[in-house]
A and B are shown apart, each in its own frame.
Chain A
């Protein structure tokens, strides 16, 4: 569906480098664009949307050329972003502050039926007449997503859509995104550097390093097969360290779970409240059971 072969000079804090992207994206999947900050992820997404212009190259969607240009010349074809009709979700949501949720949606397209349907799908129906300043981060993100979908785009571009949200809200919205993707069957590109998000959502990861695609794999290939491990490791934050005689217990928040971990006195000295920690254990005897009935379609991964 999407064929990209573009080049653009980027000005990074550690010197200039070239964003060189050559890739094909088939219809229908969710693809992650991952990489360290400053590697050109967002620029690549903005080029696809028409918010930034490559120096040279070709960009084709469904056989139609969106951009075509040679170095040092005015591009022969550069479809205006208004005509590209991609759904773009900005990192900061970019909701229109003077419009209600419903008005934000209707501004995108005067299609009341679709707006109702999308509000229903994203659980925003009760908030339709509320202005963005009264919404929580997760609600704003849902509105931004619904608004982008109002144009019924073939291609949905998400720029770190969940990075500002807490873990619990992230998880809920990831489920919603999967749900929407299944319902509408659109092609999604998502910029993210959250590995669990990639694993949960995406069928493919493009890893950008200094403007070059250094890996193009499935999440499993990228994260699991590369360093196969028999360990569980969870990232969390220490909320409290309690001491009973010689025993010390750290209360750690992992996602929305609270876990109590026994630590020794040496660890107690080196750790303190607020530290970000990794809790690991050998997985020689883990228990596994389903905790909710809704199943994810992991066969995609």
Chain B
């Protein structure tokens, strides 16, 4: 019988926070390019970016394990260059999370950008502003609900991931044992009391997160109608 150990939760939130931050920075320029592109390669990029939604997490986890292992060229190079081990480490599950949650950031951002009226962009260009300036001064401020959506959904999705983390990270306390994995272990050990506490905490925190998203969206839509 163990007391309530908060560490897996902190680890989950740290993983989700860093993943969300990295994905936001990466996805904004990519979403911008995709939303403005008329290239015939656009569907290729979009399909690749959406793969994590359809693939079973085990497939993704398996390939990531192969890729990140220090025996692969990529994993080996990372170890050579940065002295970083990417399997069974926090950095490893961070890379895996970024791949796994990528579409959940990219898609809301891209569709938000596509919904910004074309004339606003043209107005900004006609006022002599560059594409980058237009992105930051006109497009992003005009799509705040989409940005919030992307941030929150990515965060929540990363907190909720299990199989990919398990395959790439295993279950090392303080390193890769996130909340979802801790629950799995409690059940295996027949420690239902702890499993209940952890699960309930996840249900409650997830509900709060989603409730905030929908409230804010509802609020901003109601404001627009006035």
Q: Chain A residues in contact with chain B, CB under 8 A?
A: 49-51, 81-83, 85-88, 90, 92, 94-99, 107-109, 133, 147-148, 150-151
Contact = CB atoms under 8 A, between A and B. Distances in A.
A45 to B, nearest CB: 11
A83 B224 CA distance: 34
B125 interface: yes
Interface residues of B, number: 19
Contact of B128 (A51, A82, A94, A133): A82
Contacts of B123: 88, 90, 94-96, 147
What secondary structure prevails in chain B residues at the interface with A? Answer: helix
Nearest to A85: B128
Interface in B111-130: 117, 119-120, 122-130
B142 interface: yes
Given A90-B119, A92-B119, A133-B224, A98 B142 contact: yes
Contacts of A81: 122, 125-126
Contacts of A96: 120, 123-124, 137-138, 141-142
B113 to A, nearest CB: 15
Interface in B10-69: none
Contacts of B119: 90, 92, 94
Contact of B130 (A82, A87, A150): A82
A82 B122 contact: no
B117 A94 contact: yes
A151 B120 contact: no
Nearest to A84: B126
Contacts of A87: 126
Contacts of B117: 92, 94
A10 B127 CA distance: 26
B137 A49 contact: no
A169 B138 CA distance: 29
Contacts of B120: 94, 96
In order of increasing CB-CB distance, the 6 nearest A-B pairs are A94-B123, A94-B119, A88-B126, A98-B141, A108-B127, A82-B128
12 contacts: A51-B126, A81-B122, A82-B129, A87-B126, A90-B119, A94-B119, A96-B123, A96-B141, A96-B142, A133-B226, A151-B127, A151-B128
